[in-house]
Structure formats: structure tokens, C-alpha cells
């Protein structure tokens, strides 16, 4: 059991490693910004469509899944209204630092929500077979690095310090071992809780993609944004095989 939580923690903190790597990109060009945001969108769409929602349907049925998705959409909509929205800074329509920070926080929130059910999956895998939980954790670590990079870039454009970026991305990843702990406890008690968590994360991520990531890709470089979406989608599918 301790080995499982160690592996799960390392998998989650891989997000912070990705954030640290992104901090060394000196001057992000518009096409690079679009690629990273598109990559984050592609990852979220693939995870939601081929992992979160099908798993939620399998474990809890259409009713609980629909409720979880709706609540995820609503909570992120509410956060969108609460977090200040400052638009652009007048520089060729580019976003202001405050707007970039908001986008970064939204991506971090989406990844954290995604990492929680991933942690549940690690715990559930361990519940079924110890080796399965470890394999799932390693797969999660592999794709958490680019997720951390996609989170860090908007935060950096918003003027956040390296320490702040690493802290935010690491906290988003640290949700993984929390989910693992709960997964080992709750999987044998109720599959419905896991189903609702998966659906909630899916709804939240869909809101982030539609409200923030896709519009930002179109603003900075539509073609490279679409390329980032395809790459993020493909990488996620390969990791999930």
C-alpha cells in the first residue's frame, strides 16, 4: 500500500515537472501559445470522450452521469463569473496578463478535476490487482508532464513567478494521490461515487475547452491551434492504449 501512494504522488507531481520545464521557454511566440492551448484542449476532449464519460456510464448509468456532467458545467460557469475577466490589453487584441492568469487557473482547475478521478482509477486498479494500480499510475505520470506545460504557459504570460507556476501545477497534480486514497476506500463501497466524480470532471473539462481554450487558439493562431488539438488528442489516445 505505501508503494502505491508513492507512485501515485510521483505521477501527480509530474504535472509540476511539466510546469517547471515550460518556465524555461524564454519568449513564447503566438503559434507556440496556440499549440500548447490546443494540446490542452485535445487532451481534455480525448480524456472526457473516451475515458471519463464511458467509465461514468458503465459504473453509474445515464442518470448519474448526466447529473455529474451538468454540475461540472455549472460549477465552472460559476467560477467563470467569480474570477475577474479583464479582456485584452490593446496589443493587437492579445490578452492582458490578468486574462492569461485566468486561463492558466482554469486549465489547472480542469487538470485537478481530471487528476482526482485518475487517482480514483489508481486506487480502483489496486483494489482489483496491485500491479494494475501501478501501471495506471505510470501511464498517468507520462501524460501529466505535457499537461503541466500547457498549464504553465498561460500563467507565465500572465506574469506569474516560476515558484508560483510550479506551486500551482504541483497542487493540480497533488490531487491524484488524494483520489487514490479515497479510491482504495470507496471503490469497494460505492461505484456510484466514482461514476459521479468522473462525470463531474468531464463536464468541467468540456466547459474549459469550449469557453477558454478553443477561443484562445483561434485568437492566437488557428492552424497551429488545431494542430495542437490533434497532437493532444493523439498522444492521449496512445497513452490510453
Average pLDDT over residues 139-154: 76
Higher pLDDT, 123 or 113: 113
The pLDDT > 90 percentage for the chain reads: 9
Higher pLDDT, 106 or 84: 106
Q: Across 10-83, where does the E strand assignment appear?
A: none
Cα separation, 223 vs 230, in Å, equals: 11
The confidence band for 93, taking pLDDT boundaries of 50, 70 and 90, is very low
With a cut of 50, say whether residue 5 has pLDDT above it.
yes
Identify which of 168, 178, 213, 138 has the alpha carbon closest to the alpha carbon of residue 19.
168
Average pLDDT over residues 148-176: 88
Within 8 A by CB and 6+ apart from 210, the residues are none
Q: What is the average pLDDT value for the chain, to the nearest integer? A: 78
Phi, psi of 188 (to 5 degrees): -80, -10
The confidence band for 181, taking pLDDT boundaries of 50, 70 and 90, is confident
Q: What is the pLDDT of residue 86?
A: 45
Higher pLDDT, 127 or 113: 113
Cα separation, 214 vs 161, in Å, equals: 26
Apex CA 115: angle with CA 82 and CA 104, to 5°? 40
Q: What is the pLDDT of residue 239?
A: 66
Higher pLDDT, 191 or 42: 42
Cα separation, 76 vs 20, in Å, equals: 26
Q: What is the CA radius of gyration of the chain?
A: 17
For 46-87, write each residue's pLDDT tens digit. 878 887 788 789 878 899 899 989 998 998 788 777 765 444
With a cut of 80, say whether residue 199 has pLDDT above it.
yes
The confidence band for 133, taking pLDDT boundaries of 50, 70 and 90, is low
Amino acid at each position: 500500500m505505501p508503494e502505491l501512494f508513492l507512485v501515485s504522488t510521483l505521477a501527480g507531481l509530474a504535472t509540476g515537472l511539466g510546469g517547471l520545464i515550460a518556465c524555461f521557454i524564454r519568449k513564447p511566440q503566438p503559434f507556440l501559445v496556440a499549440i500548447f492551448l490546443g494540446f490542452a484542449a485535445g487532451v481534455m476532449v480525448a480524456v472526457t470522450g473516451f475515458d471519463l464519460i464511458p467509465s461514468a456510464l458503465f459504473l453509474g448509468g445515464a442518470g448519474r452521469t448526466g447529473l455529474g456532467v451538468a454540475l461540472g458545467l455549472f460549477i465552472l460557469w460559476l467560477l467563470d463569473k467569480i474570477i475577474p475577466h479583464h479582456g485584452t490589453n490593446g496589443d493587437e487584441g492579445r490578452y492582458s496578463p490578468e486574462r492569461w492568469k485566468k486561463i492558466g487557473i482554469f486549465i489547472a482547475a480542469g487538470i485537478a478535476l481530471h487528476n482526482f478521478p485518475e487517482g480514483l482509477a489508481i486506487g480502483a486498479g489496486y483494489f482489483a490487482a496491485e500491479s494494475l494500480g501501478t501501471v495506471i499510475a505510470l501511464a498517468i505520470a507520462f501524460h501529466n508532464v505535457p499537461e503541466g506545460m500547457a498549464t504553465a504557459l498561460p500563467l507565465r504570460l500572465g506574469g506569474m513567478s516560476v515558484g508560483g507556476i510550479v506551486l500551482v501545477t504541483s497542487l493540480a497534480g497533488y490531487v491524484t494521490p488524494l483520489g487514490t486514497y479515497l479510491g482504495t476506500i470507496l471503490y469497494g463501497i460505492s461505484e456510484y461515487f466514482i461514476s459521479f466524480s468522473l462525470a463531474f470532471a468531464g463536464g468541467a473539462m468540456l466547459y474549459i475547452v469550449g469557453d477558454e481554450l478553443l477561443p484562445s487558439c483561434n485568437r492566437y493562431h488557428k492552424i497551429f491551434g488545431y494542430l495542437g488539438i490533434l497532437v493532444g488528442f493523439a498522444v492521449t489516445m496512445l497513452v490510453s492504449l
